[in-house]
Structure 1
Amino acid sequence: MKKLNIVLAILWGFALIGQQTPADKQSEPITIEGAVAHLGNGKVIENSLIMFVDGKITFVGDAKMKIARIGKVINAKGKHVYPGFIAPGKSLGLVEVNAVRASDDQDEIGDIIPHIRSLIAYNAESQVVESMRPNGVLLSQITPQGGRISGTSSIVQFDAWNWEDAAVKVDDGIHLNWPNTFRRGRWWMGEPRGYQPNKNYQKDVDEVKSFMGNSVAYGKTIAKESNQPFEAMQGLFDGTQKLYIYAHGQREIMDAVTSAKDAGVKHVVLVGGYHAHKVTDFLKENDIPVLVRFTHTLPFFEDDDYDFTFKLPKILVDAGLLVGLQNSDASNFQTRNLPFYAGQVVAQGLDRETALQLISSNNAKILGIDANYGSLEVGKSATLFISEGDALDMRTNQLSKAYIDGRDLSLETHQTELWKRYMGKFEGK
């Protein structure tokens, strides 16, 4: 009983200091004038004019054009405007404190559970979620973790009372952790340390193939009894969902993509792809985009270049692949640093606007929400923000305004409140 009371007290604490109240629906037209507009599609307008009405962008162009300004006019001269950044493949809103099991819904019991929907467990009032917005991360793919097939993800925006209001695209894809050909030695059982061949690799692969084959067969027949896992897979075969395959090795990547295509999966996305640079021709032939996971970590192997993980996104972009940044090795709190991961890629030689695409329009295309999000274009959602400087640089990523579907967001969070409090303390106020 005492432990239960402690847990309830912690959760009550979350409720008391939860997310800011969602913004009201856009009530008047807004014009942003004078900012350097980074459109998210590779283009830049040095002296821009952007207008949006009822949550939709109605004009994007040069401020020198003789066109009537409408509604509230924001003078953003010397500042920068960006589309809202998108973080794919994260368990944001599914776990608040790892040590408090009652606040952790990112993993469910079972190994093959495609029917588990992450969206219904999403906490729109999470402190972790609200901390994304001051850095320009305004949307995310809420993704379950663990097991062979973790479940089904959905895409949300970060300004809502509940998961129903937050949803941008419901049940967009299923996440498959492909078996590894190598595994770390279990030294506590007397095995050598380091990597060694996985003797069960083919068995694990056959299990996945069998499940996909049975799912296909289930969809072609009139089943006497409902099978939720098989039913959840049907969107992969009719093209309404994507299969996100987590794989790193050259053999794993080729086996995974080939198996999925043979089973009739219409849309496949490779997540991770540590050795994707070795099979770029294969990936292009099969039209496979890549979400790079490890951009701020040490190389996997001793003979890799020390900066290989930093360079990988540029290598894949130069090879002609559609590339986005996911960086799943970072904790949920660190997802707010997504723009700085893109900035690191710039330091490796990638063009700045191309690097921006890795967290805006490219991620939107990969997730299938590019019709409304990911770039500043007429007809798309007014999900954007104004930064005092370069948003890919942590020294100048200072937001003054942010909008989701035209709604003027609060940029206050629990973290900013603490920052102001203790800055005042140490400045002697």
Structure 2
Amino acid sequence: MKIRITFYLICFLLAGSLSAQQTPAQKQSEAVTIVGATAHIGNGEVIENSLIIFEDGKITQIMDAGSTKMQYRGEIIQAEGKHVYPGFIAPNSTLGLVEIDAVRPTDDEDEIGEMLPNVRSLIAYNAESKVVESMRPNGVLVGQIVPRGGTISGTSSIVQFDAWNWEDAAVKVDDGLHINWPSAFRRGRWWRGEDPGLKKNEDYDQDIQKLSDFFAQSKAWLAGDRSTPNLPDEAMEPVFSGKKKVYVHVDGEKEILDAIQFKKDQDLDEFVIVGGYHALGVADELKANNIPVLVNRPHTTPNMDDQDYDYPYKLAKLLAERGVMIALESSGQMERMNTRNLPFYAGTVAAFGMDKEEALKLITSNSAKILGIDDMYGTLEKGKSATLFISEGDALDMRGNILSHAFIDGREVSLETHQTELWKRYSNKYKNQKEEESK
């Protein structure tokens, strides 16, 4: 027992030593003027020679610098030849919920149970995560933090990536309920002696019925005597009133169609498909029902033997051409670390046929609209949050995504991370070694 306690204590201490980030930036104290950069607005528009002024955390002016004689204010950043972008937004992320996969005390993305609408990801969010910190040098400044597991995983919240704690980080609290839709097929369970291949899920209809029964039970409790507390049912109230979106994690065509029917049966207004690997086959139904899709990252191989080799790369483009509102998300293998590649996912979509500024919308304005934060984030517009960054080149290309400045709500945030510290440390080591050998 003592050995076990000692082991967990060491794990906690190790996690603590690995998770301290830089001190969050101070509130913006003076105006900032960015001059001469190519401004990518995030809605498809571009201003080649821009003038951007922001103060008190909000953009006060954005225009063509050559068409105005407006006096610059506060700190002046000469950015000729550089590019300005709105901060990239990462939907459906577990950033801050898991730090080290192999250290169980740092893993808080799931809870025991199947129907958990009352579970809130926000209160488990670690604002001092080193993984979260590593998002900022690539321009990923805002994210939706989502729980995993169960049929109803719980409630997500949207945060910005430079904060002391989860209270300071919160941008939109409890924005949506997340449902893992049952699969019509499953793999054989070897521990039951079943063939390991794919087969029909005989419990599929029963699983959907359980979900429907839970919704009916919650509606009945909310309409009845509420003197005895019931946290799961109480958490469903904003879902039924339309104040909280419903995000359904589903991939198959049949399952997506069944989810759309579930939306109609339950009279759910705010409904989003997450993943949607086979959504192209039901694109017309998604468009007709005004259902957006958070498409999984394109850096993967096709799931089906008979699919085009580039199907994951072009899926977002094909759905957009069919009139479906889409954005990109990065769940999957090593999803927290890979979230920093979000701009390069959009770049890949552009490389496979989508216009570059349209691809940018997949991680800026479209993401903001789907998450319901487009009133303040997602585009460079007067009155919106000054959450933006300056890049040496094309931010959707890893060769050009070199940030010189980044701002969240007008506060200039650090671009130093544990990784940049190690890079400088070891690059200096070999630089000094080479100098000594040349003497």
TM-score (norm 1): 0.98
Deviation at 1:186, TM superposition (A): 2.4
Whether the 8 Å CA contact 1:236–1:266 is kept in 2: the answer is: no
Letter in 2 for 1:210: D
Distance 2:284 2:162 in 1: 40
Letter in 2 for 1:49: L
Whether the 8 Å CA contact 1:216–1:263 is kept in 2: the answer is: no
Letter in 2 for 1:33: V
Letter in 1 for 2:115: I
**Structure 2 residue corresponding to 1:50, chosen from 49, 52, 55:** 52
**Structure 2 residue corresponding to 1:348, chosen from 337, 348, 352:** 352
Letter in 2 for 1:158: F
Letter in 2 for 1:366: I
Q: Which residue of 1 aligns with 2:275?
A: 272
Deviation at 1:223, TM superposition (A): 2.5
Structure 1, residues 73-95: CA drift from partner, whole Å, max 9, x if none? 10000100000000011111011
Q: Tell me, which stretches of 5 or more residues in structure 1 are unaligned?
A: none
Deviation at 1:258, TM superposition (A): 1.3
Q: Tell me, which stretches of 5 or more residues in structure 2 are unaligned?
A: 434-439
**Structure 1 residue corresponding to 2:286, chosen from 283, 286, 291:** 283
Q: Secondary structure at the match of 1:214?
A: helix
Distance 1:209 1:294 in 2: 30
Please report the RMSD computed on the Cα atoms of aligned residues, expressed in angstroms.
Answer: 1.2
Q: Which residue of 1 aligns with 2:341?
A: 337
Aligned pair count reads 429
**Structure 2 residue corresponding to 1:40, chosen from 33, 39, 42:** 42
Structure 1, residues 120-143: CA drift from partner, whole Å, max 9, x if none? 011100111101000000011010
2:154 paired with 1:133: no
**Structure 1 residue corresponding to 2:158, chosen from 155, 158, 179:** 155
Q: Which residue of 1 aligns with 2:233?
A: 230
**Structure 2 residue corresponding to 1:19, chosen from 11, 18, 21:** 21
Q: Which residue of 2 aligns with 1:4?
A: 5
Structure 1, residues 238-292: CA drift from partner, whole Å, max 9, x if none? 1110000011111100111211231122210000111111111111111100000
Q: Which residue of 2 aligns with 1:217?
A: 220
Whether the 8 Å CA contact 2:58–2:386 is kept in 1: the answer is: yes
Whether the 8 Å CA contact 1:180–1:201 is kept in 2: the answer is: yes
**Structure 2 residue corresponding to 1:310, chosen from 307, 313, 318:** 313
Distance 1:205 1:119 in 2: 28
Distance 1:6 1:51 in 2: 52
Greater displacement, 255-264 / 185-194 = 185-194
Greater displacement, 325-334 / 152-161 = 325-334
Deviation at 1:67, TM superposition (A): 1.1
Distance 2:8 2:339 in 1: 26
2:379 paired with 1:375: yes
Q: Which residue of 1 aligns with 2:93?
A: 90
Distance 1:227 1:247 in 2: 28
Distance 1:32 1:402 in 2: 12
Deviation at 1:188, TM superposition (A): 4.7
Deviation at 1:294, TM superposition (A): 4.0
Q: Secondary structure at the match of 1:173?
A: strand
Greater displacement, 186-195 / 55-64 = 186-195
Whether the 8 Å CA contact 2:90–2:142 is kept in 1: the answer is: yes
2:434 paired with 1:423: no
**Structure 1 residue corresponding to 2:207, chosen from 187, 195, 204:** 204
The within-5 A match list for 1:68-87 is 68-87=71-90
Letter in 2 for 1:379: G
Letter in 2 for 1:267: E
Letter in 2 for 1:97: I
Greater displacement, 303-312 / 378-387 = 303-312
Q: Secondary structure at the match of 2:425?
A: helix
Deviation at 1:192, TM superposition (A): 2.4
Q: Secondary structure at the match of 2:330?
A: coil
Q: Which residue of 1 aligns with 2:436?
A: none
Distance 1:401 1:60 in 2: 17
Q: Which residue of 1 aligns with 2:194?
A: 191
Whether the 8 Å CA contact 2:387–2:410 is kept in 1: the answer is: yes
Distance 1:121 1:188 in 2: 34
Structure 1, residues 139-197: CA drift from partner, whole Å, max 9, x if none? 11010011111011000001110000000000000100000001112245332232111
Deviation at 1:236, TM superposition (A): 1.2
Whether the 8 Å CA contact 1:22–1:159 is kept in 2: the answer is: yes
Q: Secondary structure at the match of 2:432?
A: coil
Whether the 8 Å CA contact 2:159–2:172 is kept in 1: the answer is: yes
**Structure 1 residue corresponding to 2:146, chosen from 105, 129, 143:** 143
Whether the 8 Å CA contact 1:49–1:62 is kept in 2: the answer is: yes
Whether the 8 Å CA contact 2:328–2:362 is kept in 1: the answer is: yes
Distance 2:4 2:421 in 1: 30
Whether the 8 Å CA contact 2:188–2:196 is kept in 1: the answer is: yes
Deviation at 1:4, TM superposition (A): 3.3
Q: Secondary structure at the match of 1:427?
A: helix
Greater displacement, 276-285 / 182-191 = 182-191
Cα 1:74–1:294, aligned 2, differ >3 Å: closer, same or farther?
closer
Cα 1:95–1:294, aligned 2, differ >3 Å: closer, same or farther?
same
Q: Secondary structure at the match of 2:194?
A: coil
Distance 1:7 1:410 in 2: 32
Letter in 1 for 2:291: I
Q: Which residue of 1 aligns with 2:33?
A: 31
**Structure 2 residue corresponding to 1:239, chosen from 238, 242, 248:** 242
- Share of identical aligned residues, percent? 59
Structure 1, residues 383-426: CA drift from partner, whole Å, max 9, x if none? 00000000000111000000000001011111110111111122
2:61 paired with 1:62: no
Letter in 2 for 1:120: I
Cα 1:286–1:377, aligned 2, differ >3 Å: closer, same or farther?
same
Whether the 8 Å CA contact 2:11–2:105 is kept in 1: the answer is: no
Distance 1:172 1:299 in 2: 32
Distance 1:53 1:84 in 2: 17
